[in-house]
Amino acid sequence: MASTKVILSVNDVPIELDYFVQGFLDHVMGGMVAALKESGEIESLDVSILGDTVTINLNNAVVPINPFVNRITRNTIVGMVSSLKGVSSIDRVNISVRR
C-alpha cells in the first residue's frame, strides 16, 4: 500500500489515519467500487456523502448509482468512520483514494 494514499474528512475536518485504517478504507472502498457495473481500475476515487446523497467519482468520471447502492454505500461508510477517533456526528464525508 506504499503507493496508495487515502484521505478522509468528516464534516470538513481532516481525520488522521494510521496504516491500518488507510489500508482498511482502501480495500473496502475498492471492493464496493469493483462491485459496480460502471467501474474500472482505480487510479483516483473520490466518494462524497452529503446528507443522504452519495457521489462516486472514479478516475474523474461520476459513476451512476441507484437508490439501493446509494443507501448501502452511505450506511457502510458512515458505519466505518463513526468508529474513528475524533468523529462524532456525521453530516458530510469525503474519502479520496489515489493509487
Strand partners, 48: 55, 94
* pLDDT given at position 11: 96
**Distance between CA atoms of residues 82 and 10, nearest Å:** 9
Number of independent structural domains in the chain: 1
Cell numbers describing residue 77 = 461508510
Three-state secondary-structure class, residue 52: coil
Amino acid letter at 78? V
Residue of 2, 1, 4 lying closest to 96 (CA atoms): 4
Q: Which residue range(s) make up the domain with 31?
A: 5-98
74 vs 70: CA distance, rounded Å: 6
Model pTM score: 0.92
pLDDT truncated to tens, each residue of the chain (99 aa)? Answer: 458 999 999 999 999 999 999 999 999 999 999 999 878 889 999 999 999 999 999 999 999 999 999 999 999 999 999 999 889 889 999 999 999
